[in-house]
Chains A and B, each alone.
Chain A
Amino acid sequence: MNILAMILAGGEGRELGVLTAHRAEAAVPFGGKYRLIDFTLSNCVNSGIYDVAVLTQYQPRSLNDHIGIGKPWDLDRARGGVRLLQPFQRARGQGGTWQEGTADAVRFNLDYITERNPEHVLILAGDHIYKMDYNALLHLHVETNADVTIGVRSVSPFEAHRFGMVMLDSDGSVTQFEEKPKRTRSTTASMGIYAFKRSFLEQWLTGEGLTQHDFGRDVLPSLLKKARVFGFNYQGYWADVGTIQAYFEANMALLSETPALDLYDPDWVIHTRSEERPAVYVGADARVDGNLLCDGCRIDGTVTRSVIGPGVYVAPGAIVRDAILMKDSHVGEGAIVDHVITDKRVVIGAGARVGDGEDNTPNQLSPNRLNTGITVIGKRAQIPAGLSIGRNVEINMNVPASVFPKEGVKSGETIMG
């Protein structure tokens, strides 16, 4: 079976705030040494799919750097391999417009599909955390002679408004598809994974669906009556980490004794571009328990229940708990970091207290986005020594120490820089 996987990795991930200020959601670091897209890429190669296109749009540089020629996934190949497909402008004769939405992005790249000449096209999202063998879905797709097969999973009714919700017939065919419904009887959600018969995909996107832009909103609801659409029920761990709270929880879930997502399975390795760093170093007076620690980090203080990226330094006397510290962040002597996410190369000055106090005031600029007590610090920001920073605070990237108010930052504030 000849399959082309197309990974939609252009999404902005606006809900992730400063973490996606300079990178696409698919490129956001996860679990210390991974990026979100590693899971989908690894699923592809672990499923034997070595022909992968990654469609980029929003802030792609970090993603480009990460994927490169695809070496960590063995996707640097003479035939197939990984291709990064950038958005481009339509020819002047066709209006000169840019792509608008997921289906439009695939339509823009139909010539690539023609060139690769697959029988089926597997459309995937680049920002979900899961381990899935796509072969089972593809087998069902072929067996049922479906035009489209949608990966689906059960969700609780109160989550239904976040997903495309489907109804399945007894034979597994999809009878209804509603994108992010306010209320629904369905508890089966689309995972944003679609196997298309290639001929059908081409025909639809250039014919009846010519003006449709988005798979979930436009394409799938409208083709139900006109095509054979089946659902493939997936039952394993799957997480959409599109919000700060979900991102935080999914990271923390890795710290449990037997996590639902097993990163240590030699039969399903999550491949990533590894940093070239020495081993983790833990000092004589350090305390570490319940953590993920990445090569190149150096812990001289106390770290509990945290995910520590490569090259992070925690100085003597510093306390880090329930935190996610990305690559090369630096926590100064005696600093206290509690319920905090730092992007790369953040410097927290000696004695600073980040995530300080009991005040849980939601972020004033984005109360819906930042309200669970997590403070988020953008890339390369510098927190002055001794400063107190409350909860639900957001600090933009590159903010220098000089712009912080001397009296500290109260819960719910935002430092723009």
Chain B
Amino acid sequence: MANTLAIILAGGAGTRLSVLSEERSKPAVPFAARYRIIDFTLSNCVNSGIYNIAVLTQYRPRSLNDHIGVGKPWDLDRARGGIRLLQPYQARGREQWYGGTADAVYQNLDDVREQRAEQVLILSGDHIYKMDYRPMLAFHQEKNADLTVGVMNVPLEETDRFGIMTVNEDMRITAFFEKPKKRDKGTLASMGIYVFDAQTLAEQLEAESPKHADLDFGKHVIPGMIETMRVFAYPFEGYWVDVGTIQSYWETNLAFLEPKPPLNLDDPSWVIHTKSSERPPVKVGLQGQLRKSMVANGSNIRGRVEHSVLSPGVYVSEGALVRDSIVMNDVWIGPGAVLDKVIVDKGTVVGAGTRLGFGEDNKPNELEPDKINTGITVVGKGAHIPANITVGRNVVVMPRADEEMFQSFGGNVPSGATVGVRG
């Protein structure tokens, strides 16, 4: 295999994930109790034998930096290759953030040169999937391609979210439409996975960069190459999901509780590596009950947990009930509290007797009606929710909201409200 450099685009704000990506980029959002979204792509790389990785960050990178560190959990702390976190930077005569996906790569072409990469695998840090990239790299060589795009079929009603393409019988791409409004272009969608020859990549980006400040692979680079160069589609068949919305985030997490989960997380031949926090085992008290749930080490279950995903260090007190919920690290749930269809970010305290996701009123969130409208209440990191109140559905509690911010609601936060908006 040629000398391959993987570049993972991890700068996305993930705005549709509401408060979950308020203080962290989307790839750093916790997933399936123990993981972060980026773990899947990082593990795919090392499991595919790619040990040279650049992660391009932009939006709120601190959480991602902490998580990846020197890359130890992925065996990426290496003398040659390994992992580098590349931040946007200032240069003489140019002061700007990454304008688009291809611009981010363009601004880091010096890393591609420095690493003496012969081919570059461009990946997104936002997706949940297990994929061996080696057959795709071999396909790229075989076809003598200038660019190979990883593709899969998506449902027709979702084609407007993707780059959609048509191919000939040799899988050569004949036309490419970025997020087409009309549903007449077929269902073959780009997964945002590209293999370039390093030389071609540099040439294309240098040629296109002056024309577009927001240089994007889907919008500019791929369409510009189809006519004149050998651009191929590599079909991927398997589970792949972009957990872009609160609803899909919730669904995808809970799908792992089914007897046949979408991905086997316990496959010794394809381990999903992550930075583990060092915790004692899960302790289930004598009154504790767990049903159809995933619970990570360090949690202490004295109440009832049903159909939920709990990250490390969650404390569920006596008499509390957690149902259809996702609870992240070190959340404390007081005695008698009830959580129903709630996503609670790290370090939040839920006071005794408080009910989150309360009542039947399904009014969409007033500030984010297009994002929070399926009945899921979302609580940001480090919030303090007072005891003995009720909080309805589609409610957003901002990160670090304190008890005072709940006072104006008088013990009853109605469905669709947002708590703790500053200013």
Contact = CB atoms under 8 A, between A and B. Distances in A.
Interface residues of B, number: 37
A275 to B, nearest CB: 9
Interface in B286-320: 286-298, 300, 309-311
Contacts of B278: 72, 269, 271-272, 274
A276 B282 contact: no
A280 B282 contact: yes
B271 interface: yes
A294 B282 contact: yes
Contacts of B271: 276
B285 A290 contact: yes
Contacts of A293: 281-284, 295
Contact of B295 (A271, A279, A308): A279
Contacts of B309: 279
Given A276-B273, A278-B266, A289-B287, A295 B293 contact: no
Nearest to A263: B280
A407 interface: no
A409 interface: no
Interface residues of A, number: 37
Contact of B296 (A31, A257, A280, A288): A280
B33 interface: yes
Nearest to A32: B281
Interface string A276-300: 1111111110111111111110100
Interface string A7-42: 000000000000000000000000111000000000
A263 B32 CA distance: 24
Contact of B265 (A257, A263, A278): A278
A264 B294 contact: no
Contacts, number: 108
Nearest to B299: A280
B34 interface: yes
A270 interface: yes
B410 interface: no
B287 A278 contact: no
A357 to B, nearest CB: 26
A255 B257 CA distance: 26
A277 B283 CA distance: 17
B259 interface: yes
Given A290-B285, A294-B282, A276 B300 contact: no
B278 to A, nearest CB: 6
Given A291-B284, A295-B296, A279 B34 contact: yes
Contact of B292 (A272, A278, A283, A307): A283
Contacts of A264: 280, 283, 298, 300
B373 to A, nearest CB: 28
B291 A257 contact: no
Contacts of B298: 264
Nearest to B290: A282
Given A264-B298, A289-B285, A295-B296, A278 B32 contact: yes
B281 A33 contact: yes
Contacts of A296: 266
A274 B281 contact: no
Interface string B248-286: 000000000101000001100001111010101111111
B325 to A, nearest CB: 15
B286 to A, nearest CB: 4
Contacts of B291: 282-284, 286
B296 A279 contact: yes
A295 B35 CA distance: 13
A276 B265 CA distance: 11
A270 B291 CA distance: 29
Nearest to A305: B286
A72 B407 CA distance: 45
B165 to A, nearest CB: 35
Contacts of A290: 284-286, 288
Nearest to B330: A266
Contacts of B73: 276
B357 to A, nearest CB: 21
Contacts of B284: 288-293
A291 B286 CA distance: 8
Given A31-B281, A32-B281, A274-B278, A279 B294 contact: yes
Contacts of A274: 276, 278, 297
Contacts of B272: 278
Residue among A32, A279, A284, A289 with most chain B CB within 10 A: A279
B161 to A, nearest CB: 29
Contact of B281 (A286, A289, A294): A294
A34 to B, nearest CB: 8
A278 B282 contact: no
B320 to A, nearest CB: 15
A289 B289 contact: yes
Contacts of B285: 257, 289-290
Contacts of B311: 279
A404 to B, nearest CB: 28
A298 B264 CA distance: 13
Contacts of B259: 283
Contacts of B300: 264
A166 to B, nearest CB: 34
Q: 5 closest A-B pairs (Cβ-Cβ)?
A: A279-B33, A278-B265, A263-B280, A284-B292, A279-B296
Given A292-B283, A294-B297, 20 more contacts: A33-B281, A72-B278, A263-B280, A263-B281, A264-B283, A271-B278, A278-B265, A279-B33, A280-B282, A282-B290, A282-B292, A283-B291, A288-B288, A289-B284, A289-B288, A290-B285, A290-B288, A292-B280, A292-B282, A295-B281
14 contacts: A257-B286, A274-B297, A276-B73, A279-B309, A280-B282, A282-B294, A286-B290, A288-B288, A290-B285, A292-B281, A293-B281, A293-B295, A295-B34, A308-B281
